[in-house]
Amino acid sequence: MTTPHPAGSRIARQRQILDHVLARGQAGEAELAELTGRSVMTVHRDLDDLAQRQLLRRFHGGVSALPTSVFESSSDFRRQRHTESKAALAAAAARMIEPGMSVMLDDSTTVLAMAELLRDIAPLTVITNYRQVLERLSDAADIRLIVIGGQYSRTHDSFIGPPDQTNVESYAVDIAFQSTSTMDESMTYHQEQEVVSMKRTMLRCGTRRVLLMDGTKVGHTSLHRFVPVSAFTDVLLTDDVDPEIAARVAERAALQLVPTH
Find out whether 76 and 37 touch, Cβ atoms under 8 Å. Answer: no
pLDDT attached to residue 101: 98
∠ at Cα 71 (214, 259), nearest 5°? 5
Close Cβ partners of 201 (under 8 Å, ≥ 6 residues apart)? 163, 166, 168, 169
53 or 176: which leads in pLDDT: 176
Pick the CATH number of 10-66 from 1.10.10, 1.10.3470, 2.30.30, 1.20.58: 1.10.10
Domains 10-66 and 77-258 share a fold: no
Question: Residue 76: is its pLDDT beyond 90?
Answer: no
Find out whether 26 and 20 touch, Cβ atoms under 8 Å. Answer: no
pLDDT attached to residue 6: 47
Average of per-residue pLDDT across 85-102: 97
Find out whether 158 and 107 touch, Cβ atoms under 8 Å. Answer: yes
Of 53-57, 166-170, 195-199, 252-256, the one with minimum mean pLDDT is 53-57
Helix (H, G, I), strand (E, B) or coil at 43: helix
Q: Which CB contacts under 8 angstroms, 24+ apart, belong to 39-48?
A: 43/17, 46/10, 46/13, 46/14, 46/17, 47/17
How far is Cα 153 from Cα 178, in angstroms, rounded to an integer?
18
Q: What is the mean pLDDT of the chain?
A: 89
pLDDT attached to residue 238: 97
Strands (E), 112-253: 124-128, 143-147, 151-153, 158-160, 173-178, 182-183, 187-190, 206-213, 224-228, 234-238
Give the distance between the most distant pair of CA atoms in the chain: 59
pLDDT attached to residue 236: 98
218 or 17: which leads in pLDDT: 218
How far is Cα 250 from Cα 212, in angstroms, rounded to an integer?
14
How far is Cα 115 from Cα 134, in angstroms, rounded to an integer?
9
For residue 196, what is the enclosing H or E element? helix 193-203
CATH of domain 77-258: 3.40.50.1360
Find out whether 226 and 245 touch, Cβ atoms under 8 Å. Answer: no
What does the domain layout of the chain look like in residue ranges? 10-66, 77-258
pLDDT attached to residue 75: 65
215 or 76: which leads in pLDDT: 215
Question: Residue 1: is its pLDDT beyond 60?
Answer: no
Question: Residue 59: is its pLDDT beyond 90?
Answer: no
Average of per-residue pLDDT across 95-119: 96
Picking from 145, 92, 82, the residue whose alpha carbon sits closest to that of residue 114 is 92
Q: How confident is the model at residue 151 (pLDDT cuts 50, 70, 90)?
A: very high
